Amino acid sequence: MFFDGMHGSAIKGANNAAPQTGMDSGVDAIEHWDLPEKVVSSRRKTSAPLLPSSLPVIILLGPTGVGKTAVSLLLAKALHSEIISADSMQIYKHMDIGTAKPSAEQQQLIRHHMIDVAEPWESFSSGAYVSHAGPVIAALLEKRRVPIIVGGAGLYIKTMTRGIFSGPSADWVTRNELLHKEAAAPGSLYARLKSMDPVAAEKIMPADARRIVRALEVCLKSGRKLSEMREESTKPFPYSFIKIGLARDRKELYETINSRVDAMIAQGLVAEVKRVLHLIKDNVDSTYGGNEALPLVPRHLPVACSSMQAIGYKEIAINLNGELNLDEAVNLIKQRSRNYAKRQFTWFKKEEGIKWVDVSGMLDPNDIFEKIKKKVPSLL
């Protein structure tokens, strides 16, 4: 049995994390491409060591729109602890509506970490996430508080429970050269990767330019295969994890997603996207003297900010550029959000050690919390 030494809460039976060999606000967190001068440091913010603990780390996960946020507040209150967001877009400042960020009231009720830690023009990789979140987890455990990680960013969760690979730093000259070759001969980079590192190629979609270029970049800079380096250098956090997954009937989930998108539009998502786009443009203009300003159109992937690849922001940006009317953009957001939820659920179903809780038909967070406690009696 594990005890919260400060408040006496008990937690029993955590699953040990085991190294194994990865999504939230609509974009995967791996290797965001951005302006190289605007990269968030992956160096740890404190010197708190990541040492094994008798306390577990709780992860509350599930697809977007399933109801994680409200339940996480109840869980954190019951455990007298704090929440660490595992959402790849809630890390960005000024992006509140489209990321379904916990409200100011909710954040006052329970302290949240890993929210509003980067500017929307900055790059924030999974390595940066782990380097920032690790000390937070260590500090909570040192205070005898059980950390509660909440989100649907599979890559962030993977880096904590399975480990993270630290490869060569970004080489922007190499990346641009590869992109030019791909533009001249579409599909050539994937074919090259299959030849150089077939194991890595099997795990990357042929249309996923970011990962293909990164894999080739690692091979070219290190002279070794990305797949081999990952296997050798990946290290998980030294903690025991209790992974709780929320699942909901697909039709019900999709209806919830559609309604949430409508609510976001009503709350001012269009104005929020416009503000963020201008913040990005103003920042880049001031950095580059207006000569290499970041375009407001997110289709230009090599120079588009990662924040603008998030579902909701990307489509509204296209609308603001005049390529879609608002109704078309909203419908596209709903479609992509539903598809994203499906991919999340499919991915998490492959994860080992998740205690799944079916919350279909349940709208009251208190009812969901009670069901979680029955499903995972060791929790409290």
Residues 31, 211 contacting (CB under 8 angstroms)? yes
Q: Note the pLDDT of residue 40.
A: 53
Rg, the chain, Cα only: 21
Spatial separation of the C-alpha atoms in residues 31 and 316, rounded to whole Å: 23
Query: What pLDDT is stored for residue 257 in this prediction?
Result: 98
H or E stretch at 240: strand 240-247
Q: Mean pLDDT for the chain?
A: 82
**How are beta strands 10-11 and 2-3 bridged, if at all?**
antiparallel
Structure-token pair, residue 227: 């797949």
Torsion of CA 10, 13, 18, 22, to 10 degrees: -70
Q: What's the pLDDT score for residue 54? A: 82
**Is 150 within 8 Å of 84 (Cβ atoms)?**
yes
Which residues contact residue 224 at a Cβ distance below 8 angstroms, ignoring those fewer than 6 apart? 218
> What is the predicted pLDDT for the residue at 350?
79
How many alpha carbons fall within 13 Å on the CB side of residue 15?
Answer: 15
Neighbours of 53 (CB within 10 A): 20
Q: Quick one: CA dihedral 84, 89, 92, 95, positive or negative?
A: negative
Closest CA to 310 of 124, 179, 60, 67: 124
What is the full DSSP assignment across 141-193? Answer: HHTT---EEEE--HHHHHHHHT-B---PPP-HHHHHHHHHHHHHSTTHHHHHH
Q: Could you give the CA distance from residue 179 to residue 189 in angstroms, rounded to a whole number? A: 8
- The ranges of the chain with pLDDT < 50 are 1-39, 41-47, 288-303
The two structure tokens encoding residue 262: 């409508």
> Domains, the chain, ranges and CATH?
2-164+234-379 (3.40.50.300), 172-233 (1.10.20.140)
> What local confidence, expressed as pLDDT, does residue 10 receive?
38
Report the pLDDT value the prediction gives residue 81, as an integer from 0 to 100: 96
The structure's pTM equals 0.73
